[in-house]
Amino acid sequence: MTDTPAYNISLLFVEDNDTLRFLYNKLLAGKVRSFYLAENGQEGLEQYRLHKPDLIITDISMPVMDGLQMISHIKRENPEVKVVVMSAYSIKEYFLEAINLGVNGYLIKPVEATRLFSIIADLAGQILMRQQLEEKESHRRQAEENLKRSLGEKDILLREVHHRVKNNMQIISSILRMQQRQMSDPEMITALEESQNRIRSLALIHENLYRSENVANILFSNYATSLANNLARSFADKQGRVSFRFDIPEVYLPLDIGIPCGLIINELISNAFKYAFADVEKGVISISLKQQPDQRYHLTVHDNGSGLPADEPPEKNSSLGMKIIGKLAQQIGGTLKYEYCKGAKFTIDFQI
């Protein structure tokens, strides 16, 4: 059974004296995980490049390439490597150059074993701590990459879902349109047309999400504008007489809020086109979204048409459209308010 080394690091020892090299080999080889020897700076540089040891202990005065020259080369390749220099001379110039090179210790020969092991233990602790931090950072980066890849895959899948939902809704709308052409009853034709508009408003939000970078929230200004313009094309006979005004900031609404708000707009615009502008030469439908404190919003749809009769408040209106609006307002935890003014003005107050 192999003994566990005292210091779980790799060490390169560079010494030109054969006797000292032999003695330090006997002293250190079993104390570290991996031990390498070199007899001059040139060989030490080659050993470093081959094995990338954690710690280097080197003599200074050596033939071929001295220790400080070797350190200079190594530090350029890896500024973080730990280095201890040894010398029989306490020469000021050696100290200064060693400090400038960023060495971690300076030992005067002869070196006592306790002093040597003390500095090795201290640097080994620093090395292992850095390695642990690097390992944790590597794991964190890997986890982050895995999360990004997973989110990317889910994003692609969600986009595909939005795309397929939109296509399926378009198929349903086409079927209803085909059915509508077979009808002669005006009420049935109108009902099927209204159903197509509702389906198209849902399909539109999925199309926007498919094209958007944000597949969890909807840019409501774009959605409301597209929805209104698409609805106007459904009422071709009045399209030229009715215009839109939008006052909607670039705010993203979550899907569970954005979809009901879109359907509410769909119903209110449809009602305005059908009933509001019989006696109005130039109709205007205004759509606004105002942010209030505490993440509350006011969604308002206001037309300049004839308005509702004073004796017929919205809550008592039995039409399917008004029932849908009321249910959708409840769905988002909002309250529906109608103002008697020039035209019809509906405001839904809700909180995200």
Residue keyed to tokens 């007899």: 39
| Mean pLDDT to the nearest integer, 17-21 | 92
Structural tokens at position 324 = 């849908």
Q: Give which of 159, 259, 148 is closest to 214, Cα–Cα.
A: 159
Distance between CA 340 and CA 332 in Å, rounded? 24
Structure confidence at residue 166 (pLDDT):
66
pLDDT tens, residue by residue, 73-100: 999 999 999 999 988 776 777 778 888 8
Mean pLDDT of 271-299: 87
What pLDDT is attached to residue 341?
80
Domain 7-111 falls in which CATH fold? Rossmann fold (3.40.50)
Indicate the range of 19-28, 173-182, 220-229, 295-304 predicted with least confidence.
Answer: 173-182
- Select the more confidently predicted residue: 27 or 159: 27
Residues of the chain with CATH 3.40.50.2300: 7-111
Least-confidence region, from 93-107, 110-124, 147-161, 232-246: 147-161
The tokens for 215 are 């597949």
CA-CA distance, 62 to 307, in Å (whole number)? 101
pLDDT at 2 over 60: no
Options 3.40.190.10, 3.10.450.50, 3.40.1350.10, 3.30.565.10; CATH for 216-352 is 3.30.565.10
> Whole-model pTM?
0.53
**What is the pLDDT of the chain when averaged over all its residues?**
84
What confidence tens digit (pLDDT) does each residue in 301-320 have? 999 888 777 666 666 666 77
CB atoms within 10 A of CB 346: 24
215 neighbors 158 (Cβ within 8 angstroms): yes
- The strand pair at 55-59 and 7-14 is best described as parallel
Using alpha carbons only, how large is the chain's radius of gyration in Å?
39
Q: Where in the chain is the domain with CATH 3.30.565.10?
A: 216-352
The average pLDDT across 106-130 equals 89
Question: What contacts 24+ positions apart, CB below 8 Å, involve 130-138?
Answer: 130/80
Residues in contact with 260: Cβ distance below 8 Å, sequence separation at least 6, in sequence order? 328, 329, 331, 332
Q: How confident is the model at residue 165 (pLDDT cuts 50, 70, 90)?
A: low
Task: Give the whole-number percent of the chain exceeding pLDDT 90.
Answer: 33
Contacts of residue 206, defined as CB under 8 A and 6 or more positions apart, other chains included, come to 162, 163, 165, 166, 169
pLDDT tier for residue 1 given thresholds of 50, 70 and 90: very low
